[in-house]
Structure 1
Amino acid sequence: MKILICPDSFKDALPAEAAARAIACGTRRLGERIEAVECPLADGGEGSLDALLTATGAERRTATVQDALGRPARAHWGWLPERRTAFVELAEASGIQALAPDERTALHSTTHGVGELIRAALDAGAERLLLTLGGSATNDGGAGMLVALGARLLDSAGQDLPPGGAALAELAELDLAGLDPRLAGLQVEAAVDVDNPLLGKRGASAVFGPQKGASPEDVTRLDAALVRFADVTAGVLGEEHRELPGAGAAGGMGFAARAFLGAELRPGIELVMAQAGFETLLEGTGLVITGEGQLDGQSLAGKTPVGVARAARARGVPVVVLAGRLAPGWQAALEEGVTAAFALADGPMALDEALERCAELLADRAESAVRLFTAARS
């Protein structure tokens, strides 16, 4: 029996490739009758670049950029020269995982490094860009990216704004005259793992700001600053994008990608599956095993296990989800094509132990799931 193994990463424990390897190890304990096909995936968040490189065989390239706090950092991006296609993961340059908890400041973090990666792709001759927008430490609406690409954001005195989302409250003029002209010939797709708008109760600041160090007062301040940014942008471009589903992704980078790069916003899992040839891999598959750190009610908004389940359901292939935790609302995934879901822990354990044993637990749960499935079939 062919089993397609396509997990996302298990945050702080295993990248997607290692998770797929562990699951495959568990399924192969049943002997030669199992054909385990590994296809690590991602939904646009951290780890998406690795999944895309694995899926496409693209070159891994490195650039020195600013991190979310403006410090020099090494960041990776992907290059497919035969397709003139670049893969840029926001989290590589402006990711929250690179910052210690006490360094996280949604008020002042910047996406400047993302713009530097895009510029590196343009220098290589990119004609197509796949930009993944998860795992950010930022709430600047993509303003830092614009500055890195040649735009100027000015206050009422004609001075350049300092980096960060809070400074956008003082935005008086958006000068796009210096924006890199090569962007006009760049086809951009932006992979998002949420469908939130830019502003309001479901917006970037309110929903994701607290994860990035924002207090309730900071959230109010950041949302007002993004309102100002959206207003000035609409005045300059003559277009409105603040209500676009996904505009609030990565602290408003979805908004900037659509407004200034002309990007098509798509669920990240769909884009990564397309690059991996997921539909072809499904052919002849008897069972799909996927998973990530947590399955909950929010997973329906574009997370990997549900995206995989929806695609597999269309082919009539059952799907098992292995998750570090089954959190409130996870049962909703059963209506989206998930056949069964299992938490990894084999007894009471501390988080540190669960993270350390993640590969072992994945292998054990995968073996049990496949034994149950094969017994039911026979």
Structure 2
Amino acid sequence: LSSEDICKIGKRALEKALDNPSIDILPIADGGEGTVDALVINTGGRYVNLGVTGPYEEKVNGKYGILGDEETAVIEMSNASGLALADRNYLDPLKSTSYGTGEMIRDAVNKGCRKFIIGIGGSATNDCGIGMLQALGFEFQDKDGNSVHGSGGSLGKIVKIEDKNVPKEVLESEYLVACDVDNPLTGPRGATMVYGPQKGAESNELKILEEGMVNFGKLIEDFFSKKIIEVPGAGAAGGMGAALYGFLNAELKSGFEIIKGVINIDKLIEDKNYDVMFTGEGQMDHQTLMGKLVLGISSLGKKYDIPVIAVCGSLNKGWEDMLDKGLTAAFGITNRPMHLGDALVNAEDLLYESYYNIGKILKI
């Protein structure tokens, strides 16, 4: 279910449970999946469908959005270079590339966009963004002067960076990156050691990838004469955070804060003076405190003294920490013991039932 679907189901259930309620729906995201939809819908923007290079060089549909101002593009890296696009039986971060993400950026530049909001969650890559950068015109050469392949396995071979073929429009554009992790580029908390295994890296491959990341990290710090390796978020999305920050002067910022600013949620709350706000996520647990949507909405509830109720797929250990952050209550939608597959199949009915029952409680 999309964010918009969930909003519509919740509204329908609450309208059934309550007497003539006034309900606004606002499909939003936290910089991860659903960010393109949230910003396109709420700004009156449009979608662009583009055939791009997938993480393993297969053709995929790299859908992105152009906002209502017609100058801001919103891109989800996962739509071109995402783990969900790869065959889970054949993952290999030594070979996967972020080239398709660069193709989306280049297409948006060609369409006149000069501002970018880029969500970098869910990637299948550990290439420090060199695939993306190659699509934008950057060149990376080995000791023999040959161009390297834009993948993680090439990072240790790079000795030279060329930017003479990068269009000035790419370099002059503004980039905001939705990034809710603070991992550095290298080390035990870096891109490779923390996220490499979930992208298919075995222990011997982790060593190769980490050595390559260290080599490339030092190279780009020398090239740009600025600190990049230890920047919080540099290790996000297999080093994509470092690439965008280092090569394109991007600002790494909380995804929710970016979206909140674009949509101007504060003004909406101030104008409407809501009695209660609803939010939710798939599973609420200790990670919810790490800049996710529920935390953002709860913080707004605390700021404006409005109760916030979270309706989630499930509640797991640590969710109760949110009660100190502005959350009033949380509910899991499963109404009996069930397998995940059953919950997914029946998600719409379970969600409707939960919102309906909460509505009945609010009516007391």
Cα deviations across residues 84-111 of structure 1 (Å, max 9, x unaligned)? 2111211111111122311332222111
| Secondary structure class of the residue paired with 1:88 | strand
Give the CA deviation at 1:46: 1.9
Paired residue for 1:182?
169
Equivalent residues of 1:133, 1:249 under 8 A apart: yes
Q: Find the partner of 2:335 among 318, 342, 346.
A: 346
Aligned counterparts, 1:204-283, within 5 A: 204-283=191-270
Paired residue for 2:307?
318
Give the CA deviation at 1:314: 0.9
Task: Select the structure that is richer in strand.
Answer: 1
| Secondary structure class of the residue paired with 2:24 | strand
Pairs aligned (count): 362
| Secondary structure class of the residue paired with 2:323 | helix
Go from structure 1 to structure 2 and tell me whether the alpha carbon gap of 1:264 and 1:167 turns closer, same or farther (over 3 Å shift).
same
Cα deviations across residues 211-270 of structure 1 (Å, max 9, x unaligned)? 222223333332222111110101111111222222222111111111111111111111
Cα deviations across residues 149-181 of structure 1 (Å, max 9, x unaligned)? 111111112222123212202221122222222
TM-score norm. by structure 2 comes to 0.94
**Could you say what the CA RMSD is over the residues aligned between the two structures, in angstroms?**
1.7
Aligned counterparts, 1:9-158, within 5 A: 14-80=1-67, 82-158=69-145
Note the residue ranges of structure 2 that are not aligned, 5 or more in a row: none
| Secondary structure class of the residue paired with 1:355 | helix
Paired residue for 1:199?
186
Go from structure 1 to structure 2 and tell me whether the alpha carbon gap of 1:366 and 1:202 turns closer, same or farther (over 3 Å shift).
farther
TM-score norm. by structure 1 comes to 0.91
Calculate percent identity across the aligned residue pairs: 34
Cα deviations across residues 252-294 of structure 1 (Å, max 9, x unaligned)? 1111111111111111111122222311232311111111111
Give the CA deviation at 1:136: 1.2
Q: What amino acid maps onto 1:168 in structure 2?
A: L
Structure 1: 4+ residue segments shifted above 3 A: 80-83
Q: Counterparts of 1:203 and 1:321 in 2: how far apart (Å)?
A: 32
Q: Counterparts of 1:319 and 1:262 in 2: how far apart (Å)?
A: 36
Cα deviations across residues 320-351 of structure 1 (Å, max 9, x unaligned)? 11221222222222222111111121111011
Paired residue for 1:3?
none
Q: What amino acid maps onto 1:321 in structure 2?
A: A
Tell me which moved more, 359-368 or 53-62.
359-368
Q: Counterparts of 1:305 and 1:82 in 2: how far apart (Å)?
A: 28
Equivalent residues of 1:196, 1:204 under 8 A apart: yes
| Secondary structure class of the residue paired with 2:280 | strand
Cα deviations across residues 170-203 of structure 1 (Å, max 9, x unaligned)? 2211222222221232011111132222222222
Q: Counterparts of 2:151 and 2:37 in 1: how far apart (Å)?
A: 28
Cα deviations across residues 50-109 of structure 1 (Å, max 9, x unaligned)? 111111111111222101111122211212364521112111111111223113322221
Q: What amino acid maps onto 1:215 in structure 2?
A: E
Note the residue ranges of structure 1 that are not aligned, 5 or more in a row: 1-13
Does residue 171 (structure 1) correspond to residue 195 (structure 2)? The answer is no
Q: What amino acid maps onto 2:18 in structure 1?
A: G
Q: What amino acid maps onto 1:216 in structure 2?
A: S
Equivalent residues of 1:23, 1:363 under 8 A apart: yes
Equivalent residues of 1:59, 1:80 under 8 A apart: yes
Tell me which moved more, 81-90 or 132-141.
81-90
Equivalent residues of 1:133, 1:193 under 8 A apart: no
Q: What amino acid maps onto 1:194 in structure 2?
A: V
Paired residue for 1:362?
351
